[in-house]
Structure 1
Amino acid sequence: MGRALVMAGLVGCGADNTLSGSAGELFPLEVSRVEVRRNAEALQVSYYRNTATDVDLVARLSVDTAGLNLEPGTRVNLAGPALNGHARATVVHLAAGEPARVFAPVEKGDLVLDEGGEPGQLTRGDFSLSFQKGEGYGAGRNLSGRFSAMAVDAGFGPEPVGAAPP
């Protein structure tokens, strides 16, 4: 009985990690796993798909959190610039053997966390956005997703080689 409950829990978590939208006309939106990374400046949700020979980055949503209080239940506007002038949100697709493709700017959209949001916390939520019409990859299309994963500390990379410990 315990094993059945664990398996049901794992299947339930997988159902939370989904992508949908007209971006699916450009590439498959199937998801095998999701990673959530967080540091003081950004939240990043990456959706991966295992293929027969490679792992594709189906979509990576990066949200610049400058000036935001990213708390569960708060609706975050993904369109336009953040306080520092960078785009509030960017989306990238990278299939094995192909160049990385950065989507057109976000025209409108939002993200809401259901829980978590900090490193070491189970982070669940959803987003929905549309890309500006005109030029650019995915222009005029939309993308929505649900995610559930343990957030890890994105940090700012390793210390320079030979650097003395603090």
Structure 2
Amino acid sequence: MRPSRAIPGLLAGLLAGLLGACGEGPRIEGSVSPLLDLRYERAEAQGTPDEVSVRFITPQGAGENTILKVTAKLENLPFAPGTPIDLTEPLGAPPSEVQRGEVSRSVLDEPVRGFPRIARGTLTFQKDLQPGTKVSGDFHVTFVQGTDVYSGRTLFGRFEATVP
């Protein structure tokens, strides 16, 4: 076979693969993505006097999977739309290991595994979390170095979330 005939077939296959990948829907990015499926269907933001969070969700039978949830405790911090919340800020007096931020995941038939402490990270909502509205925002997290499979890895993304 001549090389010139193989090239159009190769290009067509490559193009089909790229176009197919575009239709996967939204996903969370970062160096954790080769280890976990981070595609989601919708995002949901919630706020209480104690904490704010964004949750990335996919349906699972009659229920749902939380692909990723990023939470910020509001202890001694007034919520201010458009202002990044430092997820690494320690809460409590030393030697407290409690941080303002937390990352979690709850997926059916997947072992529960905690994420390491956050080395760097912020969570931002662009407006107040009023029920029945949509809010845009973003987050980024880098986990501390260590021996955990997620150590030193990153997660980040922009979102438009519904506030239930």
TM-score of the two chains, using structure 2 as the length reference: 0.71
3-state DSSP of counterpart to 2:32: helix
| Counterpart in the other structure of 2:161 | 149
1:28 aligns with 2:16: no
Q: Which runs of 5 or more residues in structure 2 are unaligned?
A: 1-24
**What is the total number of aligned residue pairs between the two structures?**
137
Match of 2:112 among 100, 120, 125: 100
Q: Which string of whole-angstrom CA distances, capped at 9 and with x for unpartnered residues, describes residues 46-70 of structure 1?
A: 1113468974321111111111122
Alignment of 1:82-93 (within 5 A): 82=91, 86-93=98-105
8 Å CA contact retained: 1:118, 1:151: yes
Cα separation, 2, equivalents of 1:78 and 1:59: 15
8 Å CA contact retained: 1:79, 1:108: yes
Match of 2:127 among 110, 115, 127: 115
8 Å CA contact retained: 2:72, 2:85: no
3-state DSSP of counterpart to 2:119: strand
| Counterpart in the other structure of 1:81 | 90
Cα separation, 2, equivalents of 1:37 and 1:52: 23
Structure (1/2) with the larger strand percentage: 1
Tell me the percent identity. 26
| Counterpart in the other structure of 1:126 | 138
Q: Residues 148 and 126 of structure 1: is their aligned pair in 2 closer, same or farther, counting only changes over 3 Å?
A: same
8 Å CA contact retained: 1:34, 1:148: yes
Q: Which string of whole-angstrom CA distances, capped at 9 and with x for unpartnered residues, describes residues 73-104 of structure 1?
A: 21211113235853211111222112222210
Task: Give 1 or 2 for the bigger CA radius of gyration.
Answer: 2
How big is the alpha-carbon RMSD for the aligned residues of Structure 1 and Structure 2? 2.5
Match of 1:48 among 53, 57, 62: 57
8 Å CA contact retained: 1:67, 1:82: no
State the one-letter code of the partner of 1:101. Answer: R
Cα separation, 1, equivalents of 2:56 and 2:33: 13
8 Å CA contact retained: 2:46, 2:52: yes
| Counterpart in the other structure of 1:71 | 80
